[in-house]
Chain A
């Protein structure tokens, strides 16, 4: 288990290029996050849990689908930690697993209401499935 968590941590580092140890736990990411109340793990917890290798827990959390990729945390982090990039890497890891798809084409017809822009569908496919 320990080995696996180290491996996953390395993989997140390779995907993001972000050294989460730079975090000084100021909470500015969580202070800026527009999805804070929707998330089980808040942005500052994401960063800390990656440092501690608790990747599986993050992958299993619906929090990974609540990040809006608005980059407010990336913009304001005083340590260059880029929490949004970390969240996306975890989401990628979850989606790349078998059965990890969060959004299926079957859902589309029901969501289309005549005004939905292509962009919304394209980004949903890009963001929520492999």
Chain B
């Protein structure tokens, strides 16, 4: 049976993070999931507008959510930033009438947060099941010591994101186990890499990045995975490049034997 979900790739996955997208689609297909890209999506804006009077910056997310509501009601995201923004805007539409009313009036729609926003990882865990993934792995990544880099945006604020335990998350470690590799737990996996200042304040970004990478290395990680193009860029650009950082979907595709497809 094929499961079909609406899919929101986001701007970066169409350009600099093509691999994140490509391997996600290939893996989904191998797992019997059809990801139906929303027909006319726009960039989510990459950062969630925290002030309540910022309405315009929420609208592209609302459009995507509203479109998904009409197409089955589940929207799969992949990029951490997109997931963060869309999940929180969705909550605003459900819980903050002062925002929802304005957005609905402007877009001439009647949307109140009914779409379920599902991150690709959550989809793997809850809709597919890590056991099923394990059984479909043809090329287990035996012996590879992988550290999961969660960053900020998937986890926090946990009351809104509801993704995992914000201080001791486990979903990516479970994922690493499912593809046959060994997860390396390190404490900085949920601390910020400084992505937002990656370009304008390299000194600060470098400090943040080295804290993450040093800790991962000291704990025995030989490579890192992430779901965030900005984290990946920053960890590479402002790190010492000694630690390979890849998108988790690439390893998934590799394990499922669909990487070269």
Main DSSP-derived SS at the B contact region: loop
Cβ A117 vs Cβ B196 within 8 A: no
Number of A-B contacts (CB under 8 A): 125
Chain A hits for B152, CB < 8 A: 68-72
A residues 28-71 touching B (CB-CB < 8 Å)? 34-35, 38, 65-66, 68-71
Given A14-B52, A68-B195, A127-B196, are A122 and B236 also a contact pair (CB < 8 Å)? Answer: no
> How far is A123 from B237 in the complex, measured between Cα atoms in Å?
17
Query: Nearest Cβ in chain A — how far from B150, in angstroms?
Result: 11
Given A74-B156, A75-B156, decide whether A66 and B197 contact each other with a Cβ distance below 8 A: yes
For chain A, residues 17 to 36, give those with C-beta under 8 angstroms from any C-beta of chain B.
17, 34-35
Query: Are B47 and A123 in contact, CB atoms less than 8 angstroms apart?
Result: yes
B156 engages A70 (CB within 8 Å): yes
| A43 nearest CB across to chain B (Å) | 13
Per-residue CB contact flags for chain B residues 133-164 toward chain A (1 = under 8 Å, else 0) read 00000000000000000001001111000000
Does B12 reach chain A (CB closer than 8 Å)?
Answer: yes
Any B CB within 8 A of the CB of A3: no
Contact assessment for B156 and A118 in the assembled complex, using a CB-CB cutoff below 8 Å: no
Q: Which of B53, B157, B230 contacts A74 (CB 8 A)?
A: B157
In chain B, what residue has the closest Cβ to A11?
B53
Q: List chain A residues, Cβ under 8 A from B191.
A: 34, 70, 72
A68, A75, A120 — which one has the most chain B CB atoms within 10 A of its CB? A120
- Roughly how many angstroms separate A117 CA and B82 CA in the complex, as a whole number? 13
* Nearest-CB residue, chain B, relative to A80: B159
Known: A75-B166, A117-B12, A118-B15. A84 touches B50 (CB 8 A): yes
CB nearest neighbor in A for B211: A34
Is B199 within 8 A of A111, CB to CB? yes
Max chain B Cβ within 10 angstroms of own Cβ: one of A66, A122, A124: A122
Asked if A116 is at the interface of the complex by the 8 Å CB criterion, the answer is yes
B54 touching A123 by the CB < 8 A rule?
A: no
* In the complex with contacts A103-B200, A115-B236, A126-B57 CB distance below 8 A: yes
Complex CA distance for A92 and B47, rounded to whole angstroms? 13
Contact (Cβ within 8 A) B16 A92: no
Chain B positions 197 through 223: 1 when the CB is less than 8 Å from some CB of chain A, otherwise 0: 111110010001001000000000000
Q: Please name all residues of chain B whose beta carbon is closer than 8 Å to the beta carbon of A111 when the two chains form the complex.
A: 199-200
Decide yes or no whether A89 CB sits under 8 A from chain B.
yes
Write the chain B residue with the least CB distance to A122. Answer: B46
List of B residues within 8 angstroms of A126 by Cβ: 45-47, 49, 57
| Cα A75 to Cα B54 with chains together (Å) | 22
B233 near A116 with CB under 8 A, answer yes
**Which chain A residues border B166 with CB–CB below 8 Å?**
75
Residues of B within 8 A of A124 (CB): 196, 199-200
Contacts A75-B157, A124-B199; A119 near B52 (Cβ below 8 A): no
For this complex, 7 residue pairs linking A to B, each with C-beta atoms less than 8 Å apart, are A69-B196, A72-B192, A74-B156, A85-B50, A111-B199, A119-B10, A126-B45
Binding site for B on A (CB under 8 A): 14-17, 34-35, 38, 65-66, 68-72, 74-75, 82, 84-85, 88-89, 92, 103, 111, 113, 115-120, 122-124, 126-128
Known: A69-B196, A70-B152, A74-B157. 4 other contacts (CB 8 A): A68-B208, A75-B166, A119-B79, A119-B230
Q: Which 10 A-B pairs have the closest CB atoms?
A: A70-B192, A71-B156, A123-B46, A70-B152, A15-B51, A117-B16, A122-B46, A117-B229, A119-B12, A88-B50
